[in-house]
Structures are given as structure tokens and as C-alpha cells.
Structure 1
């Protein structure tokens, strides 16, 4: 197995575990409200789609349903954060920014997967391998500067969040924080690790050809 295949296996394992965790947290904690369950189900759906994407040569979801679903999910998080958080709008929106960015990145990859692929029966010049890679998201040679800029900005935001989350679980840097005011769910000690790992995986997925 080459390095690219190994990275795909690692990403698949990571996102599969994240999807299982999201489903478990959605159904196991009975005190969680409908919005909290909705958050977890959306995260699980995103992780499940990401687990398949490295091997599907594009989006595993039909177009434009996949793009619309994750775009709606990107709107869900800031809207529900403002409605359920007792803090100011600015603080609520800032707290929802990581989840919003992740869903926006997923919608962007879903759109790229279909926008970069030509018609199903179109014959592209060159050998089969070249034609196959011509429509893959992350293939920099076929991306416009605007698309590369958006992709790079999303990847940088996710990478910054990943690093800030993973630093919190390093020895000597871990701090326990109580639940936010108004929260009814118990704090999760390994939450920063999962948040940081999935954000790091998404930043890699944005930049690598799949």
C-alpha cells in the first residue's frame, strides 16, 4: 500500500469512528434536547459521508441533494446557537463557528465533486488515468484561483481549530470546563480530541485528491 492509500485508510477509520460516536451520543444521552440530538446526528452524517469519500472518487451523495443538505446544516448551527444560547449573539455565533465551518467545507466538497466532473459520457483526451483525475476535487491543476482560494481558506480555518483543540488534550494543558450556561448535557473529557481530529481530517480531505 502506498502513502496515499495509507492516508485514505486512516481517514476512513477516523471518520467511521466519529460517525459511530455521533450516533451513540445522539441516542444514548436521554437528557439531551432535540437540538442537541440534531447537532450530533448532523455530525454523524458528515462523518459517515467523509468516511466513504476517499474511496468513492468524488461525492457519495447524489447531486444536488448532498450539497443542499450540508449547506442547510451549515445554517442550522448558527441559527440554533443564537436561539438556545443565553449569551450575546456574537458569543453564540463564535461558539458555532467550528461546526458551521465544517459543514460549509462538506457542502463545498460536495459541490466540487460534481462541478469538476464533466458529463457522464464525455470522452476526455489523454490516457484513462489522466481523464479519471481531471474531475477530482483537490486536483490543483484543474481548479480556478477562486476555487483554490476558498478551499485553502476553509482548510486553514479547520486546521487552526484542529490545533487549538488538540493542544487542549496535551499533558499539562488539559483543563476541565463545566457545561455552558443552560446546557443540560454532561461534559465530555475527550470531546476536544474528537473535534480536533475530525477537523484535521477534513482539512486534509479538502487539499488531497480523492
Structure 2
């Protein structure tokens, strides 16, 4: 408790700015695939199923309101020849070698015809994908972000979203990590410096369902 109090005192007045949504939001769901949902997967996350349920609700609301939905997945050449240093550092990424069932979207998040699927090889949804340019062309200025894992690809994508000029809103209940400590620490740091961390009710308000 003393450590938390010291942390809050250190951040107060220094990292307490806030962002407002723009005029054209989109939903970005990062790597919400079976690798995090199947219990015998090495990437299994106990809280992932609950995050998928929230993400599915957000996606349906976006589609009903004409708001773009983007889903990312990860896919490598067998053996990871296109995965570079990331694949070498994190051998568990072999679960995303082309053809692996663990790379599939779960039934609740199977992309619809109008959705955009971005296949990536690195943590950020923006790195090497052309996503920023596509969203700018659509006039998108705000991103609602959920996915797996909070401390990895969600954080990387939210940081890049900010750096590309999008206002990032990370939806707490739509994110999950394999351990609560990195989950909470990264949400804390994202809120402090790079994004707004919001609940699903506020996210639905930005979508326009309230």
C-alpha cells in the first residue's frame, strides 16, 4: 500500500492529462485469437474469454453504427523466416506459424464482410502493415482498442496509435494478460502517458449507443 501511495503521489500533477475522442472512431481488436483461449495453448490466458465477450459487444455496436472494425492476427512462414528478432526472442510464436488452428479467430469474433483483417508479424498493429495510412484515408481520428496481451501487442499498438496521431482509448474489459500484474501496470502507464483507459460503458458511449 505504501508503494502504491508513493506511486500515485509521484504521478499526480505530472502525468494526469486527459484526451477527448475525435469525430471519427474505429475499433481495433488486437490478436484476439484462439491461442489465448484454448486451455492447452502455451499462451492461454484465463481472462481472455471475458475480454472476447466484451470485444464482441463493442464490435456489434460499431457495425450497427457504421464504425470501422479492424481485427489483427499473427501469421508466420513455417519456421518464422519473416519474424525476425521477435520470433527468435520469443519461440512460443511458433503457435502462429501458417496453418496453426491457434491463429484462428474465435466464433464470437469471426470477421464480418465489412471488417478489415490486418495480418502482422510484430507487436504493433501498425508496424509494416500500412494500417495508419488506411485509417487516415478513412478520416479515422480515434481508436478504441482491445486485445491480447495488454502488456505486449495492445500496449505496442496503443503507443503507435498515439504516435500516428490517433487518439487511443484502451478498453479495460476488452483486454487481457496472462498475469494481473503486467496487465494492471501497463494499463496504469498507458493512462498516465499515452492513452485513455476506459470502461466498456464509456466505449459504447463513444460508439454512440448511449
**TM-score, structure 1 normalization:** 0.28
Structure label with greater radius of gyration: 1
Structure having the higher strand fraction is 2
Structure having the higher helix fraction is 1
**TM-score, structure 2 normalization:** 0.28
